[in-house]
Amino acid sequence: MRSRTLSNEGLKLYLNGVTLPRRRSWTRRLVHSLFHTDYDDRLHDVVSRCRESTRALAGQFYHPNIRERLDAGILHTTRLILTRDQKKVKKRHVLRSFRFFMDVMRHAYYNQDHQTAHMLYLALTHPAIANLKLKMRKKDPELLRHMGDTYGEPIYRKHIDFWRTVRSDLVLP
């Protein structure tokens, strides 16, 4: 016989509903506002949306036109980096977009969203962007090299072998 009538999840929900939220001290708010920017909020929002779209896409992996969808995603991401509102932009704007998408790729990879990380890797190494000779940060070429080694370019055999060993629902293909 069970010792309590609520499940563990029900107990957790009940306790979260009953407890009063602690008031944050002004020093915590000050430190948070000093080291947290709108860029961080935008980055978190894009990474979470990409993760949700990967989950939705995972249900359609056996759809007949999935290859065209994935190729279109790479092409649209490349266009996002190179343009702004369908207009050509200066090189510094392209560099800013490139760095933002590098950060998105890094966060997606560390959050085990491999579809987003792989798509962004392919978009960031696209010849249209690679021929611009952008001035990258010191860690960017190393990350791109690591991504290429992880996915085993050009045929991505390492990535396929990796997926044969995954037994978790938290890791997205």
Question: At 150, which CATH number?
Answer: 1.10.840.10
Question: Which of residues 53 and 10 earns the better pLDDT score?
Answer: 53
Q: How confident is the model at residue 16 (pLDDT cuts 50, 70, 90)?
A: confident
Question: Which residues does residue 83 pair with via DSSP β-bridges, in sequence order?
Answer: 88
Q: What is the pLDDT of residue 47?
A: 93
Report if residue 130 sits inside a domain: yes
Report if residue 94 sits inside a domain: yes
How do residues 45-55 score in pLDDT, each as one tens digit? 999 999 888 88
Q: What is the pLDDT of residue 22?
A: 67
Q: What is the pLDDT of residue 147?
A: 86
Reference 83, options 96, 70, 73, 68; nearest CA is 96
Report if residue 148 sits inside a domain: yes
DSSP letter at 125 equals T
pTM of the model: 0.73
Report if residue 3 sits inside a domain: no
Mean pLDDT of the chain: 81
Instruction: Spell out the alpha helix ranges (H) of the chain.
Output: 8-18, 26-35, 38-58, 66-82, 91-110, 114-124, 127-130, 139-151, 157-165
Report if residue 19 sits inside a domain: no
Total structural domains within the chain: 1
Report if residue 68 sits inside a domain: yes
Report if residue 33 sits inside a domain: no
Report if residue 25 sits inside a domain: no
**Which range marks the domain in which residue 115 is found?**
38-165
* Percent share of the chain, pLDDT over 90: 14
